[in-house]
C-alpha cells in the first residue's frame, strides 16, 4: 500500500518533468486541445503502467546509467515534436494533412497504451521494469505473448510514435522511435539470454515459434 501511495504522490511531479519543455518554453499549448489531448493520453497510460508494475527486489541486469540517461532525455523527445510542428504549422503541407495526423496519432497512442497495459497485466508479478529472473519465475506464453515475445516494448513504441504523430512531429517521430527501438533491442537481447539460461529448451522452442515485436515480421 505504501508503494502505491508513493507512486500516486509522485505522479504530479512526473507530469511536470515529462512536460518540462512545454512549461518552460511553450506554456500556451495547455490551452490547445489538439496538442493537449496526446499529452494527457500519454501521461495517463504511462501513469497506469507505473501504478500496476511490480517492483522486484532482485538486482537489475540492465545498466543503470543507460536508464538514467534515457529518463533524463525523455522530456526532450516529448518537446521536440512540437518544435517541428511549429516550424511546419503554417505550411500548405501541414494544413492539408494535420487532421489525419491527429486521428492516426491518437489511434496509435491509444492502441500502444492498451497493448502496454494488457501485456503488463499478463506478465503479472514477473512484469516489473527490471530485467530479473525471480525464484519462482514462469515463462508466460499466453495473451500477446503467444505471438510476440516483447509486447510491452511494442506498446511503448506505438505509444511514443502515436504521440509524436499527433503533435505533428514526423521527423522527430522517426528519430525518436529509432532511438527507443535500439534501446529496447539491447534490452531484449539481455532479457532473452536470461530466459534462455533459465528455461533452456522450453524458451528455445518458444523463441523459434514467435517474433520479437511484430507478428510474422520481426
Q: What is the pTM of this model?
A: 0.93
Cα–Cα distance between 196 and 14 in angstroms, integer? Answer: 35
Dihedral through CA 183, CA 58, CA 211, CA 113, nearest 10?
Answer: -70
List the grid coordinates of 181: 527501438
pLDDT digits (tens, 9 = 90+) for 111-164: 999 999 999 999 998 989 999 999 889 999 999 999 999 999 999 999 999 999
- pLDDT for position 49: 95
- pLDDT confidence of 45, banded at 50, 70, 90? very high
Q: Is 208 helix (H, G, I), strand (E, B) or coil?
A: helix
Q: Where are the domains of the chain?
A: 2-208
CATH architecture of 2-208: Up-down Bundle (1.20)
- pLDDT for position 93: 72
pLDDT digits (tens, 9 = 90+) for 77-114: 999 999 999 888 778 777 788 889 999 999 999 999 99
pLDDT digits (tens, 9 = 90+) for 50-59: 999 998 888 8
**CA dist list (Å): 203 to 29, 109, 199:** 47, 31, 5
Rounded to the nearest integer, the mean pLDDT of the chain is 92
Amino acid at each position: 500500500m505504501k508503494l502505491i501511495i508513493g507512486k500516486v504522490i509522485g505522479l504530479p511531479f512526473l507530469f511536470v518533468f515529462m512536460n518540462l519543455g512545454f512549461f518552460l518554453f511553450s506554456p500556451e499549448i495547455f490551452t490547445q486541445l489538439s496538442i493537449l489531448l496526446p499529452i494527457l493520453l500519454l501521461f495517463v497510460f504511462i501513469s497506469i503502467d507505473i501504478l500496476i508494475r511490480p517492483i522486484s527486489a532482485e538486482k537489475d541486469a540492465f545498466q543503470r546509467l543507460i536508464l538514467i540517461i534515457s529518463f533524463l532525455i525523455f522530456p526532450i523527445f516529448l518537446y521536440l515534436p512540437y518544435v517541428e510542428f511549429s516550424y511546419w504549422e503554417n505550411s500548405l503541407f501541414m494544413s492539408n494533412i494535420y487532421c489525419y495526423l491527429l486521428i492516426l496519432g491518437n489511434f496509435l497512442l491509444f492502441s500502444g497504451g492498451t497493448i502496454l497495459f494488457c501485456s503488463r497485466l499478463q506478465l503479472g508479478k514477473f512484469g516489473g521494469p527490471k530485467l530479473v529472473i525471480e525464484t519462482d519465475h514462469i515463462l508466460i506464453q499466453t495473451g500477446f505473448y503467444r505471438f510476440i515475445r516483447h509486447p510491452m516494448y511494442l506498446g511503448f513504441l506505438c505509444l511514443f510514435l502515436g504521440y509524436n504523430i499527433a503533435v505533428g512531429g514526423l521527423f522527430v517521430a522517426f528519430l525518436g522511435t529509432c532511438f527507443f527501438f535500439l534501446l529496447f533491442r539491447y534490452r531484449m537481447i539481455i532479457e532473452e539470454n536470461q530466459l534462455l539460461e533459465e528455461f533452456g529448451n522450453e524458451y528455445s522452442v518458444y523463441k523459434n515459434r514467435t517474433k520479437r515485436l511484430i507478428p510474422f515480421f520481426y
